[in-house]
Amino acid sequence: MAVRRAERKRAVNPVRRHSLGEWLEWQSTLHPSAIDLGLERCRHVRDAMGLDTIGVPRIVVAGTNGKGSCVAFLESILTAAGLRTGTYTSPHLFRYNERVRIGARPVSDAELVKAFERVDAARGDVSLTFFEFGTLAAADIIERARVDVAVMEVGLGGRLDAVNVFEPSVSLISPIGVDHRAWLGDDRESVGREKAGIMRPGIPCVIGERCPPGSVLDRARAIGTPCRILGRDYDFEHESNHWRWWSPRRAVGALPPPGLAGRHQVDNAAACLAVLDALSSRVRLSDDAVRNGIAGALIGGRLQWLETPARVLVDVAHNPLGAEALAAYLASVRPRPRRRAVCGVLGDKDAGAMLHALEAEVDAWYFASLSGTRGRNARELAGKLPCTVPSWTFESVDAAFVAALDGREAREEVVVFGSFVTVERALRLATSAICPET
């Protein structure tokens, strides 16, 4: 496949871009389509920039759910060990800067602008998508920062995602579900085949679920990737208020509950320990660093209770697997309170399966329309509700959230989920004066 060039001849700096906002707005218009999977464009610019040469351990994380949580665990453990990390994740909740972190801190606008300038200077007339441009800039910042360990999260799939032009020292595939059907396929085997594209011959790959799709294992056998699978090559067990993790090479006991809520986060933390175990010849970690890092891991919007008078839980569950994890967390709360759910879901998601997963845990629904090319109308979303319970539709997340708060009774909970956009709006509103005193 030929490198995609800009559709019209590129002028040299036709407009001088100064601010981060100006750069991001321009990047969103640079390529003919928002998503254009393929590696040749990024490889071309990567090589022109001289990237992927730092020689420090690089962890590449793919999967359907839990990728962001795994990056948070890895960053927290490595930081607790006194190591300087460079991390790249997407999407962000509030500010684009959240996507690139050096030493566990988001980079500045100025650092991003300088990296964007270097990408633009190197790309010539190669047309890059918004995500490709940002991925190359993130890699540039991480390499210049001289970090001890780099951690990069795949955006979509794996095989043709921009992150896959960077070579891993170890890769991690978190639990796989069906999402992004138009690009990755309609079943777990198809999705798994795309995720397994981050594997490399002879480079360890940690699998963060007990029964991965056969396509993942087939790919590993075909190219000679040594896999470490949960339940086969590493595992854990609960011990009273703690848990214990082990592999053939190491065991760590008296591990605290993860800093991230939800029983599934132990699976994610265990996978991260297997990743770091695979890097043990290059990255040495004490048991205390492991314990402190697991307990201290933080990431916004994942089963996050808001510090407001109203009892509000937000979660970026945006596909059926995420909705199932949210439902399991809600089901673990006893006695079960009455709940109102604020839900806004993008148009390319399996909303019916998401609502089905949560129907037993919600007593009233507040559906919100999401705008944009990938948006979904609230009425269309409400039509997928599989049960007969009170529900209302609203033209925005703001209106739905305000109505849920105004309508709730004492001790009722409000749960907000469905997309990063939905959670971002609720978080912004909750930090204003909107949440009433109870």
The Cα 249–Cα 78 span in angstroms is: 19
Burial status of residue 387 (CB atoms within 10 A of its CB: 0-12, 13-18, 19 or more): exposed
Residue 340: the pLDDT is 97
C-alpha atoms less than 13 angstroms from C-alpha of 394 in its C-beta half-sphere: 21
- Those residues whose C-beta lies under 8 Å from the C-beta of residue 12, and which sit 6 or more positions away, are none
Burial status of residue 359 (CB atoms within 10 A of its CB: 0-12, 13-18, 19 or more): middle
Residue 11: the pLDDT is 36
Decide if 411 contacts 287 (C-beta within 8 A).
no
| Structural domains of the chain, ranges and CATH numbers in brackets | 20-296 (3.40.1190.10), 304-430 (3.90.190.20)
CA torsion through residues 191, 193, 197, 200, sign:
positive
The Cα 321–Cα 64 span in angstroms is: 8
Residue 409: the pLDDT is 87
pLDDT along the chain (438 residues), means of 10: 44 64 94 81 96 90 95 98 98 96 98 97 95 97 97 93 97 87 77 95 98 97 98 95 96 97 96 98 97 97 89 94 95 93 94 95 97 91 90 97 91 95 93 58
C-alpha atoms less than 13 angstroms from C-alpha of 397 in its C-beta half-sphere: 25
Q: Which of 183, 370, 390, 372 is nearest to 381 (CA)?
A: 370
Burial status of residue 50 (CB atoms within 10 A of its CB: 0-12, 13-18, 19 or more): exposed
286: how many CB neighbours lie within 10 A of its CB? 12
* Beta strand 105-106 pairing with 58-62: unpaired
Residue 6: the pLDDT is 44
Chain-centre distance for alpha carbon 427: 18
Residue 1: the pLDDT is 42
Ramachandran region of residue 382, left (φ > 0), alpha (ψ -120 to 50) or beta? alpha
The Cα 251–Cα 244 span in angstroms is: 7
Residue 183: the pLDDT is 61
Residues in the chain: 438
Residue 435: the pLDDT is 59
Residue 181: the pLDDT is 62
The Cα 377–Cα 201 span in angstroms is: 45
Question: What's the token pair of residue 300?
Answer: 């916004």
Per-residue 3-state assignment (H helix, E strand, C coil) for the chain: CCCCECCCCCCCCCCCCCCHHHHHHHHHHHCCCCCCCCCHHHHHHHHHHCCCCCCCCEEEEECCCCHHHHHHHHHHHHHHCCCCEEEECCCCCCCHHHHEEECCEECCHHHHHHHHHHHHHHHCCECCCHHHHHHHHHHHHHHHCCCCEEEEECCCCCCCCHHHHCCCCEEEECCCCCCCHHHHCCCHHHHHHHHHHHCCCCCCEEECCCCCCHHHHHHHHHHCCCEEEECCCEEEEEECCEEEEECCCCEEEEECCCCCCCCHHHHHHHHHHHHHHHCCCCCCCCHHHHHHHHHHCCCCCCCEECCCCCCEEECCCCCHHHHHHHHHHHHCCCCCCCEEEEECCCCCCCHHHHHHHHHHHCCEEEEECCCCCCCCCHHHHHCCCCCCCCEEEECCHHHHHHHHHHHCCCCCEEEEECCHHHHHHHHHHHCCCCCCCC
Residue 34: the pLDDT is 75
**CA-CA-CA-CA torsion for 208, 213, 219, 224, nearest 10 degrees?**
50
Over the range 190-213, which residues count as b (16 or more CB within 10 Å of their CB) and which as e? ebbbbbbbbbbeebbbbbbbeebb
C-alpha atoms less than 13 angstroms from C-alpha of 313 in its C-beta half-sphere: 20
